[in-house]
Chain A
Amino acid sequence: MAQLVFGYFAGVIAVTAMLVVALKNPVYSVLSLLIMFFHVAGLYVTLHAEFLAAVQLIVYAGAILVLYLFVVMLLNAKQDDRYHRQWRAAGFVCVPLLLELLVLFAGGKMESSPPFPADQAGPGVDNAKAIGMTLFSTYLFPFEVASLILLVAMVGAIVLAKRDTGGGGHDAHKDNRLSP
C-alpha cells in the first residue's frame, strides 16, 4: 500500500516536472508546476512532515505560483518560444550525470538499504509543535536572519520593478509600453 502511494506520487511528480520543461506555453508550464507542488505536498504527508506539506501548499502553490501566473499574464508571454541551441551543452551536462547516477544506484546496495524506522510516532506527536520548538530554540538566529532576507527581497523587488520617476511626461508613455 505504501509503495503504491509512493509510486503514484513519484510518477506524477516526474511526469509533471518533465511537462514543465517540455510545454511551450508558459501558462501550461506554471499549471503543471502547480500539480507537481500538490503531489510533493502529498509526499511530505507520507513522510510525516505535515507542517511542511501545509507550508508547501500555502507558500508555493498559493503565493509563488500566483506571482508567476501574474507575471506571465502581465508580460503576455509569446508562445513561439523554441528551444535553445544549447541542447548539446545540456546533453553534455546531463547524460554523464545520469549515467553516474545509474552506476551509483546499480552498484549500491539497493535492497540492503535500511528502510525507515517504524512509526513509533503515533498520532499524538505533533509535527508542527516539534518543528516550532526546534525553530525557536536551536535555529533561532537563522530564523531571524530569514526575516531579514525577506525584508531585503521585498524592498529590492519594489525598487527593481518601480517605474523611473525621472520626468513626469514619460510616465504616460511607459504606461502604454507596459500594457500588452
Chain B
Amino acid sequence: MTIPITYYLLLSAVVFLTGVIGVLIRRNIIAILLSVELMLNATNINFVAFSRHLEDLGGQVFVFFALTVAAAEVAVGLAIIIALHRSKESINLEDFKLLKW
C-alpha cells in the first residue's frame, strides 16, 4: 500500500506555512534565514514527491539545483549578517531601519 501524493502535498504545505510564519514573526535575523530554509525544504519535498509520481527524474534534478542555490543563499546571507553585526552590534531586525521612512 503506497502513500497518495496528497499526503506529501499536505506535509509540504504545513512546513511551508510554518516557514512563512517564522519569517513574519521572528525578530532574530538568523531565525528568519532558518525559516527560509524551512520553505526551501518544503518545496523540495514537493519536487521529489512529484518526481516519483510522474516517474520523471527532472524533479530530482531541480531539487539538486535548489540545493545549490540554497547553499549560495546561505553563504551570502550569513556574510551580510556578519557585516550587519559588525556595524550595528546587533542581530535584532528592529535595529535596522535605515531604509525605513
> Using a CB–CB distance below 8 Å, which chain A residues touch chain B?
1-3, 6, 10, 13-14, 17-18, 20-21, 26, 29-30, 33, 36-37, 40, 43-44, 47-49, 51-52, 55-56, 59-60, 63-64, 67-68, 71-72, 74-75, 77-78, 81-84, 86-87, 89-90, 93-94, 97-98, 101, 105, 108, 110, 113-118, 130-131, 134-135, 138-139, 142, 146, 149-150, 152-154, 156-158, 160-161, 163, 174, 177-178
Contacts and interface: CB of A to CB of B under 8 A. Distances in A.
Contact of A30 (B21, B34, B55, B89): B34
Contact of A52 (B6, B30, B60): B60
Given A21-B26, A52-B64, A149-B72, A115 B4 contact: yes
B3 A6 contact: yes
B27 A108 contact: no
B65 interface: yes
Given A21-B22, A117-B55, A3 B92 contact: no
Contacts of B17: 94, 97-98, 101
Contacts of A150: 68, 71-72
A14 B42 CA distance: 10
A114 B37 CA distance: 30
A68 B68 contact: no
Contacts of A17: 14-15, 18-19, 38
A113 B14 contact: no
Interface in B10-39: 10-11, 13-15, 17-22, 24-28, 30-31, 33-35, 37-38
